[in-house]
Amino acid sequence: MRKTKEILRLKFEGGLGNHTIGRALSVSASTVWDTVARFQATGLPWPLPPDLTEAALEARLYRRQGSHEANPARVPSWPGVQAELRKKHVTLRLLFEEYKVEHPDGYQYSWFCERFREWRKTIDLVMRQEHTLGERVFIDWAGDTIPVIDAGTGEVRPAYLFLAVLGASNYTYAEPSLSQDLASFLAAHVRMFSFFGGVPELLIPDNLKTGVTHPSYYEPDLNPAYTTLAEHYGCLVLPTRPGRPRDKAKVEAGVLFVERRIVARLRRRRFFSLDEVKIAVAQELVLLNERAFQKLPGSRRSVFLAEEQPMLRPLPARPYEHRDRKSARVHIDYHVDLFGHFYSVPYELAREKVEVRYTTAIVEVFHQGTRVASHARDDRKGRATTCLEHMPPRHRHYAEWTPERFTAWAGQMGPETVRLIEAVMSRHRHPALGYRSCLGILRLESRYGAPRLEAAAARTLAIGGTSYKSVKHILQAGLDREPLPGPTPRPEPLFHENLRGPEYFAH
């Protein structure tokens, strides 16, 4: 039973303060303030008219929401108020002031606030969560999976569902993956941003191991690759707090909704490839996002397009490409090894420890966080990619030489010299390391002549040699004038009258 008349009497006749009245009547000071405000909003005089009953006074001060249906033009659109509150710096007081500008004879602030709170109680808890437009996207893997059957072996593999839900509009993205590893996790983010057509300010992962290496209430450790992705898109990563389920209510409700609207609907279908699952999930995702809200106007898609997408940050000029990483030590020849191919770095970093980041198209080398080299990816083993500026000054003299130039020069001597030069260059990890040997061999022609050099090259190859010293020794000793050792003759088959051949056993 409200103590309305007593509160008003003590206020207007006794002149007491709100706290004093509250203590006297065992009610809170805010209740006293609200009652007085409601009374003043009615325009009733004090003392009250003698014919005004307690029930009539209660009805005037505490009207139910339905009692105003006689004048709906004065009732604000509560879904519109909810949508405006999602925008940055917008408050309920500001919206009330705008309402009064439009409706000068409209209701007062206390009524405005109370009716809005009553309306919010009629919609789902997750829908009531107030998130600023374009601010947050909640990320998780769904618990349920979709079976994928290998048509060849019959093996069944689970397809995991990556899930992302925008905080304000609940617009949802989902995609299947055969793995929950880091590469799949980051690639799903790239496609998520493309699906949204923009970037929210915060990524809220549910402390997934692929994104958060060490969950912590105060300072969670993020995977460096995840941080790099966030930097590329100009957003921040804010993991949910361990042991705080309300932090992730949005995505958990989204997970449950996706499992009911996608996974459950696909439970009777058989899939024989991941591509089939992707097509089916994409079709169901369209239906999910276009499904009308039960207690709000529109759908996830319509609210997203009208309100949240314009608030997203623009996509970068190019999508993020995940780079795998490995530690390496620079060889003495200022090259690092990646899968058998060698990439140059500045020669000053010889023997230093570096980090190699690579994709299918590019290889980058970092030293103490600074990029020191970038090369196009080359998977040819035993070969090298070398930049002129990485070489020490004494090596740059040979940088203008190429394998083609050496073989063309050797061709002036003869085919055996060409074969020898090619063998010398192929003996090294990369051709440049054999240039000095090739240069020494070809310069022997000026002293001994092309015919002798050609003969020495043939003899060097015959004995398995591939060095400048070997050719020089042959020429100095005159061995190039000696006939080449011929192939070892095959031994004649043994014959004896007591030996029986296959003919004997044929009878």
Instruction: Select from 350, 346, 354, 326 the least CA-distant residue to 338.
Output: 326
For residue 300, what are its two tokens? 């996830």
For residue 299, tell me if it sits in a domain. Answer: yes
Return the residue matching tokens 């003759």: 489
Residue 133 in contact with residue 255, Cβ under 8 Å? no
The pLDDT assigned to 286 comes to 92
Note whether 162 and 294 are same-domain residues.
Answer: yes
Note whether 265 and 208 are same-domain residues.
Answer: yes
For residue 127, tell me if it sits in a domain. Answer: no
Mean pLDDT of the chain: 80
For residue 194, tell me if it sits in a domain. Answer: yes
For residue 316, tell me if it sits in a domain. Answer: no
The amino acid occupying position 399 is A
Q: Give the domain-ending residue among 38, 62, 86.
A: 62
The pLDDT assigned to 43 comes to 78
For residue 502, tell me if it sits in a domain. Answer: no
Note whether 291 and 412 are same-domain residues.
Answer: no
Note whether 338 and 477 are same-domain residues.
Answer: no
Answer yes or no: pTM beyond 0.75.
no
Q: How many CA atoms lie within 13 A of 441 on its CB side?
A: 36
Residue 457 in contact with residue 420, Cβ under 8 Å? yes
Note whether 155 and 300 are same-domain residues.
Answer: yes
Residue 344 in contact with residue 386, Cβ under 8 Å? yes
For residue 503, tell me if it sits in a domain. Answer: no
Total domains in the fold of the chain: 5
Model confidence pLDDT, tens digit, residues 88-107:
667 788 888 888 888 777 77
Residue 229 in contact with residue 196, Cβ under 8 Å? no
CA distance 138 to 247: 10
Query: What is the DSSP pairing of strand 324-329 with strand 172-177?
Result: unpaired
For residue 351, what are its two tokens? 């023997």
In this prediction, residues 467-483 reach a mean pLDDT of 89
Confidence of residue 188 (pLDDT cuts 50, 70, 90): very high
For residue 492, tell me if it sits in a domain. Answer: no
Q: Which of helix, strand or coil describes residue 294?
A: coil
Model confidence pLDDT, tens digit, residues 35-50:
888 888 777 888 888 7
Instruction: Select from 131, 125, 120, 207 the least CA-distant residue to 171.
Output: 131
CA distance 386 to 399: 9
Note whether 373 and 444 are same-domain residues.
Answer: no
**347: containing domain:** 324-396
The pLDDT assigned to 400 comes to 64
In this prediction, residues 340-355 reach a mean pLDDT of 91
In this prediction, residues 75-96 reach a mean pLDDT of 76
Highest mean pLDDT among 57-66, 204-213, 233-242, 347-356: 347-356
